[in-house]
């Protein structure tokens, strides 16, 4: 990455549960586009750096879905957690989209990978954006504690949270997910995205598949996953059974909670968000 801009523009800013909820924008060197992201700064940040929880959203989403619908700010303010929600893909003039306008590829569907195939390779660099560039931008403008960070996400974003945490050992003290795409190599969404972004060699896909990464030796200290039992994508796209088997085989402590009657929506996420925030806070406030 070269030429990263640390200049952060504030698009909106609102007082919220004693803290500040903002939407921000900067020019990304990784994606070659302006990128928006949401930050909730808890009231404890007035006294020094605070722990950070990253939340990666799913297909069709922007930074606003989690910010507006998850209901996370009240508990985050109590716990002293900064919440960071990036956009899900590059956007703007010249950024290619799915030729048929499908929702599961292109704009809003970056899959948190670094694309290597044309025409996607120039702009679709969400893995490097999330793991390298945005953390630097965030630290330049907000009181973040770089040693105490967690990551979570929903659906495609759950896939992103798992793969990013697995590939960056020690970076995140806590990891969770809501209805993650657990094995993208074994579902239509993942096969389409990984094939187009990375090319036809399935061996290259393993670096962006949580179950494959676990099979290849990557580990997490612990993992919390909530999955709705009435999720319309459960059997065909999400495959928590494969994640459960991979974690069992690797000895990764997995708390997989199957929630009867819940679907794939933000009503599901909002219902269990407080549990996830407290899960992360317990690990992010540990000393040592």
Q: State residue 286's pLDDT score.
A: 72
Q: According to the model, what pLDDT value does residue 121 have?
A: 98
- Low-confidence residues of the chain, pLDDT below 50? 1-3, 288
Three-state DSSP class for 12? strand
Query: What is the structure's pLDDT at 5?
Result: 59
Q: How far, in Å, CA of 15 to CA of 13, rounded? A: 7
Residue 3 has a pLDDT of 45
Answer whether 256's CB lies under 8 Å from 57's CB. no
**Closest of 115, 77, 262 to residue 196, by C-alpha:** 115
Catalytic residue flag (residue 226):
no
Which secondary structure element, helix H or strand E, spans residue 178, and what is its range?
strand 174-178
Q: What is the pTM of this model?
A: 0.96
Per-residue confidence (pLDDT) for residue 6, from 0 to 100: 77
The pLDDT assigned to 288 comes to: 47
> Which phi-psi region, left, alpha or beta, contains residue 23 (left: φ > 0; alpha: ψ -120 to 50)?
beta
Selecting among 87, 209, 231, 276, the annotated active-site residue is 231
Q: How big is the chain, counted in residues?
A: 288
- Supply the DSSP symbol for 284: H
Q: What is the pLDDT of residue 287?
A: 58
The catalytic residue among 24, 123, 218, 264 is 264
Catalytic residue among 155, 209, 276, 280: 155
Sheet with 82-86: strands ordered across: 9-16, 19-27, 34-41, 82-86, 50-56, 144-153, 174-178, 223-228, 254-259
155 is catalytic: yes
- Is 38 part of the annotated catalytic residue set? no
How far apart (Å, rounded) are the C-alpha atoms in residues 189 and 193? 6
Long-range contacts of 35-38 (CB under 8 A, 24+ apart): 35/86, 35/87, 35/90, 35/129, 35/134, 36/11, 36/62, 36/63, 36/87, 37/63, 37/84, 37/85, 37/86, 37/87, 37/134, 37/138, 38/63, 38/64, 38/66, 38/67, 38/83, 38/84, 38/85, 38/86
Q: How far apart are CA 48 and CA 71, in angstroms?
A: 24
């Amino acid at each position: 990455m070269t030429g990263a801009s640390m200049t952060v523009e504030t698009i909106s800013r609102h007082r919220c549960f004693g803290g500040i909820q903002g939407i921000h924008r900067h020019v990304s060197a990784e994606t070659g586009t302006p990128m928006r992201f949401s930050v909730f700064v808890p009231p404890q940040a007035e006294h020094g750096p605070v722990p950070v929880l990253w939340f990666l959203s799913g297909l069709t989403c922007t930074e606003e879905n989690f910010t507006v619908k998850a209901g996370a700010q009240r508990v985050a303010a109590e716990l002293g957690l900064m919440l960071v929600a990036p956009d899900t893909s590059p956007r703007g003039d010249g950024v290619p989209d799915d030729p048929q306008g499908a929702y599961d590829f292109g704009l809003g569907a970056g899959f948190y990978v670094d694309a290597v195939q044309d025409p996607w390779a120039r702009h679709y660099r969400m893995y490097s954006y999330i793991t390298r560039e945005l953390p630097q931008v965030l630290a330049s403008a907000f009181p973040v504690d770089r040693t105490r960070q967690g990551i979570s996400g929903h659906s495609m974003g759950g896939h992103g949270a798992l793969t990013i945490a697995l590939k960056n050992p020690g970076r995140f003290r806590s990891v969770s997910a809501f209805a993650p795409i657990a094995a993208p190599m074994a579902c239509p969404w993942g096969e389409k995205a990984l094939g187009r972004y990375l090319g036809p060699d399935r061996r290259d896909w393993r670096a962006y598949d949580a179950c494959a990464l676990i099979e290849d030796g990557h580990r997490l200290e612990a993992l919390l996953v909530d999955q709705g039992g009435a999720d319309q994508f459960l059997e065909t796209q999400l495959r928590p059974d494969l994640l459960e088997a991979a974690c069992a085989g690797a000895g990764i402590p997995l708390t997989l909670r199957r929630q009867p009657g819940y679907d794939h929506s933000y009503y599901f996420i909002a219902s269990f968000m407080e549990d996830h925030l407290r899960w992360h806070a317990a690990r992010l406030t540990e000393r040592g």
